[in-house]
Structure 1
Amino acid sequence: MREFEALFSALAKSRFRGKFHLNGKDLQYLRDKGVPTILEHARDFIGKRLAPAFIPNDGKQTPYRGHPVFVGQHATACCCRGCLQKWHGIAAGHNLTAEEQEYVLSVLRRWLLLEIDRAGQE
């Protein structure tokens, strides 16, 4: 698992990862529900879509839109086990540990807070 400063610096250099930001609808949903509720959604998504050792549709299990967490997962390379391995050093082929799941949740939390800050500056 990577240190956040190095991770977010690397993500910022990626043209693909850098294009993901919350649109008005997702940002409003985040504001309406609040970060704690959205993070509970994220915890559920991680547990069901990312934590299993083998995911039948790995690499395609995370939609690109429809929820702030989905956008955040692509922005932070927490969208599939392949990206987790490449970007975060979390090997595929095993159930994510509680610590690894909390790490992913922390990455998403930081990204969501950065998006709130970014939207406030526009």
Structure 2
Amino acid sequence: MDKQEWMNQLFFKLSQSTFRSQFHLSDKDKIYIQEKGMDTIEEHARDFIRKRLAPAVIENDGKQTPMRGHPVFVAQHATATCCRGCLSKWHTISKHGHLSEKQQDYIVMIIMQWIMKEMQKKICR
């Protein structure tokens, strides 16, 4: 299975989850992304992942990602990249140990892919 097939399967599975499929970017989130640009949003995603998910020990795992406040947070819940438990369940990334650069890149790629899909939906002002 190539990368695109794998991504398609992942996003299909996520869309079948009642919890995951309830998350969408608000118009405010979309406007923020348009104003900041995708490169800046990706930088934010990398920073959040490095600080909140990558450490080997996370004392508040399962609670470190707010439900709103930044488009990346919304994307993390939609893509099950919000905590180490969800990463383990949905992405087979171990709960234990520091996340490698490759794992962090993968997480950011999933988040950004979801954001790009959401940005294709119309803004209702």
The Cα shift of 1:25 comes to 1.0
Provide the residue aligned with 2:55 in structure 1: 52
Provide the residue aligned with 2:83 in structure 1: 80
User: Which one-letter code corresponds to 1:99 in the other structure?
Assistant: K
User: Which one-letter code corresponds to 2:65 in the other structure?
Assistant: T
Match of 2:7 among 1, 4, 7: 4
Provide the residue aligned with 1:65 in structure 2: 68
Provide the residue aligned with 2:94 in structure 1: 91
- Structure 1 regions of 5+ residues with no counterpart? none
User: Which one-letter code corresponds to 2:69 in the other structure?
Assistant: G
TM-score by length of 2: 0.92
The Cα shift of 1:86 comes to 0.2
The Cα shift of 1:6 comes to 1.1
Give the CA RMSD over aligned residues: 1.5
* Structure 1 Cα separation of the partners of residues 13 and 122 of structure 2: 21
Aligned sequence identity (%): 53
Provide the residue aligned with 1:42 in structure 2: 45
Match of 1:107 among 95, 105, 110: 110
Match of 2:31 among 22, 28, 31: 28
- Structure 2 regions of 5+ residues with no counterpart? none
The Cα shift of 1:109 comes to 0.9
User: Which one-letter code corresponds to 2:97 in the other structure?
Assistant: H
* Structure 1 Cα separation of the partners of residues 122 and 90 of structure 2: 26
* Structure 1 Cα separation of the partners of residues 65 and 113 of structure 2: 19
Provide the residue aligned with 1:17 in structure 2: 20
2:19 counterpart SS class = helix
TM-score by length of 1: 0.94
Change (3 A) 1:79 1:67: same
